[in-house]
Structure 1
Amino acid sequence: MTPTVDLSNCDNEPIHIPGQVQSHGFLIAIDAKCIIKFHSENITQFLPDLPGDLLGRPIHDIEPLIGANEPPDFINQLISFGRSNKSFDQTNPFSTDIQGTPFYLIINVSGPLYLLEFEPVASDLKTDLQKMIGRSISEMLADKNLNNLLNNSATQVKNVIGYDRVMIYRFAADGHGEVVAEARNNELDSWLGLHYPASDIPKQARELYKHNLTRLIANVHTTPSKIVTTKQLSEDPLDLTHSHLRAVSPIHIQYLKNMGVESSFSISLMYKKELWGLIACHNYSPRFIDYKARDSAKLIGQILSSALEFRQDEANQHLQDKFNSSVNAMSKNMLKNNSIEDALTMPDVNILHATDATGVVLIYDNNTYKIGKTPSDEQIQQLVGWITENVNDTFYSTNELPYIYPEADAFKKVASGIMVLTLSAELSEYIIWFKPEHLEIVTWAGNPDKPAEMAADGTLKISPRHSFEAWSQEVSGKSVPWADEEIKSVTRLRAEVTYAINQKAGAIRMLNERLKQAYEELDTFSFTISHDLKNPLSTIKGYAQMLTKTSNLESRTQDVLSKIDVKVDKMNSMINEVLEYSRIGRLDLNPVEIDVAPIIAEHIKDLKVVYNADHLKVNIGATPPVQGDPTMISQVFANLLSNAIKYSLPSGSPEVHIDATDNESEIVYTIRDNGVGIDIKQLPHVFELFKRMDNVQDIEGTGVGLAIVKRIIEKHNGKIWVDSKLGEGSTFFVAFKK
């Protein structure tokens, strides 16, 4: 019975372990001892003289058949060379000769195994691709306009590889794609501007495009070759994530056949290590491009990726500079003006200018201030009630409010998108920015809600739907998404507003009463931790250590007891840090002038030893003195420098930069690293107690250090904020009042 195609399963299809390879080449997988663990069934088509029982044999048994003119043990030597270089880039491809025919050997890693892939040197290209690359790249980059850049790139790629259709395909945040540039044969219909649902290239396929920057499907009509092994050699299927011959999903093959495409070739386009899109090439007859030609084509993708990244970064920086200027102006106004609300709602520069919103409302001190286009007073009041009930974070944003809060449908033309900054949840004080509905006509390549159709034999065929006829859909109730730079700007504004409010906190009697009550509760809490928790922990640790001295314990039991000991120590550490956090609020300040330079130098010296970081590069600029408590200020720099070093070590070449600027009202220290960085969505939560970012869960830490730093800085009437990009490092700013 023919299996029915179900597109709802596309995201679950294990395409990295298809158990097959494309038939234009063959594959052998060997372990570290060069024993053959897997091979493709079609190997005998290329090597007819092979013995029938390859599995379990050492690879050198068949090396004379693979490379008659190669030195003995040449495959092991290639693997050793690649292992020492931690990459096979220098050896791939290795040119050899099989049965008198030139072949490329490409080596890649698959877990503990090595993939040996053999494919012909012959190519269907009529031109010398490498010679054309330089001229094509200069043609691509001839225009700084983004649309022209993409159109130039599509045209040049088509000229180079000669495919019938070349498209630049860009992914949206939800995974669906759009053809944003195209070069095609005259007889073909244009697909420019067409959108394709995310199921066409599901999530796991997009992940593979990040590992393999080029992907060739030479002929959709060939039968793939199965990969064989035995249960004695491997119980798990062979992971072909890094394979060039990896067979194609049957769903995708059917997809191409439905379009009439017989060969496809793609080049990945990356932005900040994420998949931006593809150069997608279609041919309506079979077409093979050899490894070197594909590698040359990959260079086009890398150059275009760099150009896209440069232009996007340039635009982002311009936007960030604009928002920073507005926030800086408001910060100065808040410090000069006794009224925070007046400083934030001035006609020349106000909270509306911190984003690209079209309206904003400030709800503060029992008053509501509206700027720009906003919902009505009654609608705002109801929205605030919904926010109070449903938004628990200090920062929240969405660009599809009517889908989450149905009552917003009544005012979607002015507020389909909102960004919320909570000043005080208890007092229902907020800043809410609004973006209007952005009506959009999305033209799909066929009806995206009709992904399968009944064929004559009763089976379901996947999209595209016969002809790719344009199918238009009006998207309503959504605004233009909030940009990362807007989120950063609002996060910075939050720090400035909090600082200004704290400066005027003496006038807020309610806050003083709550602080007094909180301190009393904190004393009780601290005593409970130190007495009721630490003593039982000491007992648990003692019992565990006693049990480890028992001679006849099994190794697994010893391991469990050892883990108990480690976890008790970690919990003790967390308790001590919470006690330190609570202690800071009760300490009296006796500020003195502090020479910061020796504090930084001493911490750097100690931390290099702690983290075994002799290769750490530290750049220290200006270090002006500050006013404060020496012990607390030392603790601030210890925490920030420790984080900078700890989270930059995974980069391999860790760098930390320390500098300071001295202006008329404050001294601002910056500590910048090139570490793992912080996801933009988690940036507003960095200084919260016990908050650890998702990408550092395997790095030691408790999530209390930055909360302590923030509490110390606020006690010194200062402020702290952070700017960061995932994978590019973080910069912490600490402002000390003069």
Structure 2
Amino acid sequence: MIRPSSEQLDAAQLQAALAQCASEPIRLPGSIQPHGVLLTLSEPGSSEDGLLIGQISSNCQALFGLSPAELWQQPLATLTGIAAAEHVRQALLLPQLDEANPLLLEIGGQRFNGSLSRHDSVVILELEPWLEATQDNTVILLRALRRMQAAATLEALYAVSVAEIRQLTGFDRVLIYRFESQGHGRVISEALGGQLPGYLGQCFPASDIPPQARELYRLNWIRVIPDARYVPVPILPTLRPDGQPLDLGFSMLRSVSPVHCQYLDNMGVRASMSLSLLEQDRLWGLITCAHPQPLLVSHPVRSMCVAIAQLLSVQISALQTRDQQTDRDEKSLLINELTAAMRLAKHDVLDGLANHPQQLLNLTGASGVAVLVEDRLQLIGQCPTAEQVRALYLWVRERCQEKGELLQTEHLQSLHAGSAVYSDAASGLLAFVLPKPVDNAVIWFGGQLRSSMQWSGNPDEHFVAGTDPDQRLQPRKSFEVWEQQVYGRSRPWSAADSFAALQLRRAAIEDDLARQVRREHEAVRVRDELVAVVSHDLRNPMTIIIMQCGMMQRLVSRDESNHSGRMSAALGTMEDATSRMNVLIADLLDKSKLDAGQYPLDCKPLDVVALLEQACALLVTLTSHKGIELNCSSAEGLSIHADPQRLFQVLSNLLGNAIKFTPVGGRIDVSAWQLDDKVMISVRDNGGGILPAQLPHIFERYWSVREGNPNGSGLGLYICRSIVHAHGGEMWVESEPGVGSVFTFSLPAAE
């Protein structure tokens, strides 16, 4: 609760009293209101052991002529008779008790409305005397539902709801009380009969409805107090049969806090009824009904009021959603304009926003906006100074990193005390930063809204000290209008404002990412052009060096001196190194084309048997030098649609690697077969195999170089698999150290 004035309680007493109020066990009062009788029952079983009375309110003696002692642990039929007890039993067998309530029960010649609930494994039966209707309330209810469904605005919906509930129930005052984001409540609509004062537009402090009471309102659609001056009726025994206090959180008859009854009496209210308004599962507000004299509304009428509250809750959500969507649609045009401006900006995406100042302001209805891009800061409209904005940006950046996408507040100085010096220009703030390493932000400012709030009584003096030694807080006695001047706050940012800022941020991120991709693509293109030019220019001198080395080898071979032998070996080394350089240049050209997606294929129908025979014939000389057995087998009639030169490059690489790593006297098998619509080709060797840790990386670029292999560029297998992929196939490897490796690739079979 909000604290009383310092003159009334010292700080220690205040804190103790507040803690006591906040912890009041309102769900466990141990008593009920006297307009009905409450019983707890065991679950229905056989006629001998089911529906036994565990607890009962003490007013059963006055109403039924039987004392709690006479009824304790007795079957329900002892009180109600067999017919009524059986009615209760059948209702408890239903999957949903709400389908049975209210039960019309006849007990001792009187008719009662019975309400069943089940909580904490306890069945509660509440009995209220049946009240005969004085008017056809169904007609009023149907009219109310039609008028509510026809309401085009929230204001019209509120007005219809309070007027119809007042007509239905006979309460003198019916109002709608909405919970604001700061916690207090505001009266937004009311219907008056003339006896009680109105509170339209006035605010009530959050302490009027403490947290535990709000939770009960969230869980229950309705609460009634027919006479606030009632004397509580105890429930006997005090504890349940299992020794626990009885939870009455879902009871219609639950006795309410004495503080609340005193609060109503101070307002001049004898009878009240409250209906909850929910937004999804959140308590949005209340419909509160008040009357200056005692008033008990019948159970059927209360059910009708609950139906109105439920429909009102749904209608509020629907109209709020509609209004928000309308606002979003209007802002979408501005978002499109600003998105286009960001796309056309030459340097940074946010530079485009600064060129459309009015659209940027209109997007959120701000009074000022700052756009920061690295060392460039542009202020539009009513803003703090440049130095103040730059200092504020450091705080905004930190908070955005903590909170995520957006930072917004209508009371900036409550979060950033230093902003108080420029609250006229920036009492509210809505901001985002982009996930970039450079300074950047868009910060909208809401100017200070000079206004006043009308409170029902002084908001700083909600409660006064009691006279009891425990210093219980007592509700205030004055509800006279008390006006409070509001400083340091801006207009609240709407859901559509937040949506617009969020959409603009997302558009900025997408455009920024697109720019990065374009820059990277351009860098790749320039790199590929450089590789192509350098490779082309290197090939001619490499070829000349190889030819010259061959000529010099022939000349030196005629000289049989030791000097000529060393020269011949050196020339051979140069020739091998130059040949490897030519292979590397070819691999780099292939890699560049593959990375750019520009690898040309000249596909044609190929006979797989002929292709394999050609590849094995060209490499058989290398296998014979090491005494390797080379076997080539293929199913007949296999045909593929592929580029023969590129496919031969794949086979040559795989066979060359197999020959390189197969020991003298080893074996290499090349096989081809068809599996569904794919032709499978494998190259198997019985070499040393590949270590398990290396196997997942074998097709990566430069892997062999990173592993310290001096032979090759580390691009061969990467290029092979990329060529197969370009044909629409797949390549993989299976290997076991000491056993050998199998490289397999698939290609689509020719149709």
Return the TM-score normalized by structure 1. Answer: 0.63
- 1:105 match: 114
| Matching residue's letter, 1:399 | E
1:39 aligns with 2:48: no
Deviation at 1:196, TM superposition (A): 0.7
Partner Cα distance (1:54, 1:169) in 2: 43
User: Of the candidates 278, 297, 301, which is equivalent to residue 270 of structure 1?
Assistant: 278
Deviation at 1:418, TM superposition (A): 0.9
- 2:36 match: 25
The change in CA–CA distance for 1:328 and 1:240 in structure 2 (over 3 A counts) is farther
Check conservation: 2:178, 2:187, Cα contact below 8 A: yes
| Matching residue's letter, 1:212 | N
- 1:379 match: 388
- 1:14 match: 25
Deviation at 1:462, TM superposition (A): 5.6
Partner Cα distance (1:390, 1:66) in 2: 65
Partner Cα distance (1:131, 1:288) in 2: 21
Partner Cα distance (1:51, 1:483) in 2: 57
User: Of the candidates 78, 83, 98, which is equivalent to residue 91 of structure 2?
Assistant: 78
| Matching residue's letter, 2:33 | Q
| Matching residue's letter, 1:75 | V
Partner Cα distance (2:19, 2:369) in 1: 41
| Matching residue's letter, 2:80 | I
Spell out the pairing of 1:65-464 with structure 2 (5 A cutoff).
65-70=79-84, 73-81=86-94, 83=95, 87-122=96-131, 126-139=134-147, 144-229=152-237, 233-339=241-347, 340-347=349-356, 350-388=359-397, 392-393=401-402, 394=404, 395-424=406-435, 426-453=437-464
Residue by residue, what CA displacement relative to the aligned partner does 1:415-442 show, whole Å, maximum 9, x if unpaired? 1111221224753322212111222211
Check conservation: 2:52, 2:76, Cα contact below 8 A: no
Deviation at 1:293, TM superposition (A): 1.2
Partner Cα distance (2:597, 2:499) in 1: 32
Residue by residue, what CA displacement relative to the aligned partner does 1:249-271 show, whole Å, maximum 9, x if unpaired? 11111111111211101222233
| Matching residue's letter, 1:402 | Q
The structure with more radius of gyration: 2
Check conservation: 1:453, 1:460, Cα contact below 8 A: no
Check conservation: 1:330, 1:349, Cα contact below 8 A: no
Partner Cα distance (2:357, 2:447) in 1: 22
Unaligned runs of 5+ in 2: 1-12, 45-50, 524-593, 599-751
Partner Cα distance (2:66, 2:291) in 1: 36
- Where 2:231 maps in the other structure, the secondary structure is coil
The change in CA–CA distance for 1:49 and 1:11 in structure 2 (over 3 A counts) is closer
Partner Cα distance (1:271, 1:330) in 2: 34
- 2:551 match: none
1:496 aligns with 2:507: yes
The change in CA–CA distance for 1:236 and 1:490 in structure 2 (over 3 A counts) is farther
Check conservation: 1:388, 1:425, Cα contact below 8 A: no
User: Of the candidates 43, 54, 63, which is equivalent to residue 77 of structure 2?
Assistant: 63
- Where 1:504 maps in the other structure, the secondary structure is helix
Of 443-452 and 131-140, the range deviating more from structure 2: 131-140
Check conservation: 1:11, 1:199, Cα contact below 8 A: no
Check conservation: 1:195, 1:443, Cα contact below 8 A: yes
Check conservation: 1:262, 1:286, Cα contact below 8 A: yes
The change in CA–CA distance for 1:66 and 1:257 in structure 2 (over 3 A counts) is same
Seq. identity, %: 31
The change in CA–CA distance for 1:456 and 1:271 in structure 2 (over 3 A counts) is closer
| Matching residue's letter, 1:261 | V
- 2:727 match: none
- 1:686 match: none
The change in CA–CA distance for 1:466 and 1:378 in structure 2 (over 3 A counts) is same
Deviation at 1:199, TM superposition (A): 0.8
- 2:690 match: none
Residue by residue, what CA displacement relative to the aligned partner does 1:644-701 show, whole Å, maximum 9, x if unpaired? xxxxxxxxxxxxxxxxxxxxxxxxxxxxxxxxxxxxxxxxxxxxxxxxxxxxxxxxxx
Deviation at 1:460, TM superposition (A): 6.8
| Matching residue's letter, 1:94 | L
Deviation at 1:329, TM superposition (A): 3.4
Partner Cα distance (1:28, 1:276) in 2: 33
What RMSD, in angstroms, separates the aligned Cα atoms of the two structures?
Answer: 3.2
Deviation at 1:447, TM superposition (A): 0.9
- Where 1:304 maps in the other structure, the secondary structure is helix
Partner Cα distance (2:305, 2:101) in 1: 15
Partner Cα distance (1:242, 1:231) in 2: 17
Deviation at 1:381, TM superposition (A): 1.6
Deviation at 1:115, TM superposition (A): 1.7
Deviation at 1:390, TM superposition (A): 5.3
Deviation at 1:118, TM superposition (A): 1.1
Spell out the pairing of 1:476-625 with structure 2 (5 A cutoff).
476-505=487-516
Partner Cα distance (1:454, 1:335) in 2: 65
- Where 1:413 maps in the other structure, the secondary structure is coil
The change in CA–CA distance for 1:260 and 1:508 in structure 2 (over 3 A counts) is same
Partner Cα distance (1:219, 1:196) in 2: 23
Check conservation: 2:187, 2:200, Cα contact below 8 A: yes
| Matching residue's letter, 1:505 | Q
Of 23-32 and 9-18, the range deviating more from structure 2: 9-18
The change in CA–CA distance for 1:400 and 1:117 in structure 2 (over 3 A counts) is same
Partner Cα distance (2:509, 2:226) in 1: 60
The change in CA–CA distance for 1:589 and 1:352 in structure 2 (over 3 A counts) is farther
Partner Cα distance (1:164, 1:491) in 2: 46
Unaligned runs of 5+ in 1: 513-587, 593-738
Partner Cα distance (2:159, 2:513) in 1: 53
Deviation at 1:93, TM superposition (A): 0.5
Return the TM-score normalized by structure 2. Answer: 0.62
Check conservation: 2:71, 2:79, Cα contact below 8 A: no
Partner Cα distance (2:597, 2:360) in 1: 34
Partner Cα distance (2:479, 2:295) in 1: 23
Deviation at 1:217, TM superposition (A): 0.3
| Matching residue's letter, 1:373 | Q
Deviation at 1:275, TM superposition (A): 2.3
| Matching residue's letter, 1:474 | Q
Residue by residue, what CA displacement relative to the aligned partner does 1:111-158 show, whole Å, maximum 9, x if unpaired? 2222211111126x7433223222344455665343343233323322
| Matching residue's letter, 2:434 | L
Deviation at 1:232, TM superposition (A): 7.7
Deviation at 1:99, TM superposition (A): 1.7
Check conservation: 2:434, 2:440, Cα contact below 8 A: yes
Check conservation: 2:262, 2:475, Cα contact below 8 A: no
Of 47-56 and 111-120, the range deviating more from structure 2: 47-56
- 1:652 match: none
Partner Cα distance (1:284, 1:252) in 2: 16
Check conservation: 2:58, 2:236, Cα contact below 8 A: yes
- Where 1:237 maps in the other structure, the secondary structure is coil
- 1:669 match: none
Check conservation: 2:40, 2:54, Cα contact below 8 A: yes
| Matching residue's letter, 2:379 | K
- 1:616 match: none
Partner Cα distance (1:96, 1:229) in 2: 25
Residue by residue, what CA displacement relative to the aligned partner does 1:217-274 show, whole Å, maximum 9, x if unpaired? 0111221222334768223322222211111111111111111211101222233342
Deviation at 1:411, TM superposition (A): 1.7
Check conservation: 2:53, 2:76, Cα contact below 8 A: no
| Matching residue's letter, 1:277 | G
Deviation at 1:68, TM superposition (A): 4.9
- Where 2:289 maps in the other structure, the secondary structure is strand
Deviation at 1:50, TM superposition (A): 5.7
Partner Cα distance (1:304, 1:589) in 2: 61
